[in-house]
Structure 1
Amino acid sequence: MTQHKQELVYWRDGALDGACLVSARYVAHEFDRHVHDELVIVMTEDGAGQCCTRAGSDVSGPGTVRIFGAGEYHCGKVWEGRAWNYRAIYLDMQGLAALSAVFHEDSRDDKPLFVPPGLYPDPQLSRLLIKAHASLEKNGTPMMERQANWWAAMGMLFGRYGQPRPVVEVAGREAGKMAQVRDYIAAHYDRDIPVDELASHVNLSRFHLMRSFCKEFGLPPHAYASQVRLIAAKQLLATGQKPAEAAVAVGLYDQSHLNRLFKRAYGITPGVYAALRPEQ
C-alpha cells in the first residue's frame, strides 16, 4: 500500500549554490555508520528517527532540527518501527560560502559558517526550514520567493546557533530605495526577478533589502510581486482573456499556479471571476 512505500528523492535548485535537497520517507530502516562531507540539516515532518554519534543517542521528531557536521560519524534507524518522514539540506563548502556572502557582504572574514552538531528542539526554526525546503520542490515557485524563503530560514538557523553569527544590519526605513524596488518590481512583474537583481538596483545587501522592504510595505518583495501579478491578471480577465493566457502574460508558471494564488487572495477562481464580466 502507498502509505508503506519508502521514498528518497534528491534534487538541486538553480536559485541556490552548493545545496543538495532531500525528501525522505522510511518505514523500517537502519543506517550503517557513515559520514558526510557536507553540513547536514535534518527536519522531521512526522514520525521519528534515532541517531547515534560519539556524543550519544537522541531521537529526532517533529519540531526538531538535527545537525551533522562534515566528517562526523553517525548511524541511526527509524525509531520504534514508526515511519519517519523528513527533509534534509546538504550544504557543501560552496553553499556555506554563498550564505556567508549573503550574511557578511561587507566582511573580509573568510571563516566558514558552522553550526555545532547536535539536536536542536526549535519548532519555529523547523517550520521555517520546512517551508523553505517545500518551496524549493514546487514547480513554478518564483526565484525571488525561493531565495527569500531560503535566506530567511538560513538566517534564523545561523543567527540562533551558527558560528560566526550573521552580521545583520539594522533595517532602517530606506523609504526612497524601497520605493525604487517597489517600482522596479511593478515594471518587471512579468518575469522571474532574482533578489540579487533588486539588491543591485538599489546598492543594498540582499538580506538588508528583504528586511527593509518588509518593514516599509508590510510584506516581502516576492509577496508584493505576487500581488502585482494578481492585479494584472484581474485586468486581463476583465477584458475577456482566458485564465491560461492571463497566467502566462503575468509571468506565472501555469494556470494552476494562478488558480492557487487567485483563490487564496480573493476566495474565487480566475474562471469564476472572468464569468462575472458583463455581456457585451
Structure 2
Amino acid sequence: MKSMHGVPEQFESLNDAAQFLHPRERAGIELYRAHIVRHAFEPHTHEAFGLGAIESGVERFRYAGSDHLAPAGSLVLMNPEVLHTGRAETQGGWRYRMIYIDRTVLEEATGQAGIWFPDAVRSDPARAQRVTAMLDALWCAREALAFDSVLGRLLSELCEDARAAKVPSEGRSMRFTKVIDYLHAHLAERPTLQDLAAVAGLSPFHFLRRFRTQYHVTPQQMLMALRLHDAKRRLAAGEPAAQVAVASGLADQAHLTRAFQRRYGVTPANYQRQVRS
C-alpha cells in the first residue's frame, strides 16, 4: 500500500492525503482513510452508509441542515444519500477512517432491516478506538474469512446506535423521490427549475423552497453531488475519465478533475488507481 503522506497530486496542500480501497473479499464496501489539514470538501453524497471514527484532531461538517463537530474519540455515523461537507476545525487537521457500506450488505451482515442512525456524531472514545483498530484490520485483511469476521465485529460496535428508519408521509416521499429519480436519469442534461417543478407537481419557486427544506441544499447542488457520485462509480468500474465526464454530465475531463477532487479529496486518476490496484 502507498503511504498516506506525500501524494501531491491529490490536494493543494501536501499535508492532506487520502486513500480508498475496494476490498476484493466483499462487494458493496469501500474503505477510506485520510489526514486532512487544509482541504474543504464540497457538498457530496454516498449511496452507502458512511461509518467510522476520528483518530485525532476535529472535523467540522454540515449534514442534514446542521453543523457538527467531530473531535478525536468520536464515531461518525452517516446515513445514505445525505449531502455533507467536511473541513478541519483544528490547526493540525483531523485524521480519520471510514467504511462506506451498501444498505443491502449492512442489513445482511447485521440481520436488521430499515437501519438508520439518528446522530451523525457520537462521542465514545473507547468504541472509537476499537472501531479504528477494526477498520485498520479490514484494510490489511488478506483472507475473505478474516475480513468477514472483523466486519461482523465492526458492525456490531457501530450499529449499537442504529434505529428503525423513519418513514416520511407517502405524498412527500413520492413527490421528491420522483425528482431524485429524474435527476439520476438526466445527469448528462441541463434540467431547469421548471422541469423539476413539473416532475414534483409544484410551481417552480414553491418547489425550490420545499426541496431546500427537504434536503437542505439546492437542486443544483444535489444534481452535482449525484453527477460526481455517478462519476465515482464509473471510475471504479474502469471507464476512461474523458468518457466518464461526458456520461456524468460534466463539461469535460478538466471539470471532472476539479469537481471530483473538491468532493472526494483525490483526483479521478488517483482514485481509479487506488480502487483498481
* TM-score, normalisation: structure 2: 0.50
Q: Which has the higher contact order (CA 8 A, sep 6+)?
A: 2
